[in-house]
């Protein structure tokens, strides 16, 4: 098993880099944002609850989010070689819960890849994504709230994972492929696992 967390502010490129990581290492991708947006699109009860938080740029409450994640882990990812967690954890209680969930399943979290991008660039990327994809929470007001929530509730996780010796800082500005090469080198150094193929 190889379990990785892709960590970073909204707009830092977690989704883009996740796609490359799962391709290269044969892992399963869990994006909690995508799971929630899928529920919203299908109009489920959970989607209705999630929408009230997402549209304001707030986090879904920890107990609900942890239950959703555990459900996906057991129903979709249990037979996989490992998981890339994208957008989870976002709070200290979520990080503690993830450690417990993995330990309970005889596994472990191997590395946390931190995509570090200056704030002006994050805002520009999200505004562009909003125009290109129509993603509802990529609007100026909600972006402002999401960045504030990130600084207050999510950024403290950097120290949490630094203390666990798992945090790998990555310069998330620049070309997608160059950033990915840096991620691969960091993961390989931390875990000793080699990419399936080198392009
Ligand atoms: P993302 O696609 O990761 O940027 O997530 C979009 C939105 O979904 C966030 O702004 C939150 O409202 C919600 N969300 C996603 N993941 C989490 C999480 N781990 N905890 C709480 N809320 C989340």
Are 84 and 26 in contact by the 8 Å Cβ rule? The answer is no
Mean pLDDT of all residues in the chain?
A: 95
Does 8 reside within a domain?
yes
Q: Is residue 166 lining ligand 1, measured as CB closer than 6 Å?
A: no
Q: Is residue 11 lining ligand 1, measured as CB closer than 6 Å?
A: no
Say yes or no to pLDDT of 197 above 50: no
Q: Within its chain, how far is the Cα of 106 from the centroid?
A: 22
Domain count, the chain: 1
Does 36 reside within a domain?
yes
CATH number of the domain where residue 95 is located: 3.40.50.300
Say yes or no to pLDDT of 116 above 80: yes
Are 77 and 30 in contact by the 8 Å Cβ rule? The answer is yes
Say yes or no to pLDDT of 141 above 90: yes
Summarised one tens digit per residue, pLDDT across range 18-42 is 999 999 999 999 999 999 999 999 9
**Residue 146 among the catalytic residues:** yes
Domain that holds residue 93: 2-188
Q: How many angstroms is it from 59 CA to the middle of ligand 1? A: 6
Does 197 reside within a domain?
no
- Would you call 83 helix, strand, or coil by DSSP? strand
Q: C-alpha angle with apex 90: 16 to 142, nearest 5 degrees? A: 75
Does 198 reside within a domain?
no
Q: How many angstroms is it from 100 CA to the middle of ligand 1? A: 21
- The average pLDDT across 3-14 equals 97
The predicted pLDDT at position 35 comes to: 97
Does 50 reside within a domain?
yes
**Residue 125 among the catalytic residues:** no
In angstroms, the CA 167 to CA 158 distance is 7
The predicted pLDDT at position 186 comes to: 95
Say yes or no to pLDDT of 196 above 60: no
pTM of the model: 0.95
Q: Whose CA is nearest to atom 14 of ligand 1?
A: 33
Say yes or no to pLDDT of 184 above 50: yes
- The average pLDDT across 154-179 equals 97
Q: Where are the alpha helices (DSSP H) in 55-152?
A: 62-76, 92-104, 119-133, 140-149
Q: Which of 20, 90, 125, 166 is catalytic?
A: 90
- Would you call 99 helix, strand, or coil by DSSP? helix
Residue 93: how many CB atoms within 10 A of its CB?
14
Summarised one tens digit per residue, pLDDT across range 51-71 is 999 999 999 999 999 999 999
Q: How many angstroms is it from 188 CA to the middle of ligand 1? A: 28
- The average pLDDT across 131-151 equals 97
Q: Is residue 33 lining ligand 1, measured as CB closer than 6 Å?
A: yes
- The side-by-side arrangement of strands in the sheet containing 4-8 is 28-31, 83-86, 4-8, 111-116, 167-171
- Would you call 189 helix, strand, or coil by DSSP? helix
Does 193 reside within a domain?
no
Q: Within its chain, how far is the Cα of 117 from the centroid?
A: 15
**Residue 42 among the catalytic residues:** no
Does 194 reside within a domain?
no
Does 177 reside within a domain?
yes
- The average pLDDT across 130-146 equals 97
In angstroms, the CA 49 to CA 159 distance is 31
Give the model's confidence band at 198: pLDDT under 50 very low, under 70 low, under 90 confident, else very high. very low
Say yes or no to pLDDT of 77 above 70: yes
The predicted pLDDT at position 193 comes to: 67
């Amino acid at each position: 098993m190889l379990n990785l967390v892709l960590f970073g502010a909204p707009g830092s490129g977690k989704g883009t880099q996740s796609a490359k990581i799962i391709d290269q290492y044969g892992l399963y991708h869990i994006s909690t944002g995508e799971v929630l947006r899928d529920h919203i699109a299908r109009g489920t009860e959970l989607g209705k609850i999630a929408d009230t938080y997402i549209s304001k740029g707030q986090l879904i409450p920890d107990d609900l989010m942890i239950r959703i994640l555990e459900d996906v882990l057991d129903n979709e990812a249990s037979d996989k070689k490992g998981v890339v967690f994208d957008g989870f954890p976002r709070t200290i209680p979520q990080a503690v819960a993830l450690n417990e969930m993995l330990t309970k399943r005889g596994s472990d979290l191997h590395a946390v890849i931190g995509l570090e991008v200056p704030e002006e660039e994050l805002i520009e990327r999200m505004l562009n994504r909003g125009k290109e994809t129509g993603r509802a929470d990529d609007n100026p007001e909600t972006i402002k709230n999401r960045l504030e929530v990130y600084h207050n509730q999510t950024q403290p996780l950097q120290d949490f994972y630094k203390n666990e010796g798992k945090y790998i800082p990555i310069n998330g500005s620049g070309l997608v492929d160059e950033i990915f090469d840096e991620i691969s080198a960091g993961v390989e150094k931390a875990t000793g696992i080699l990419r399936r193929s080198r392009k």
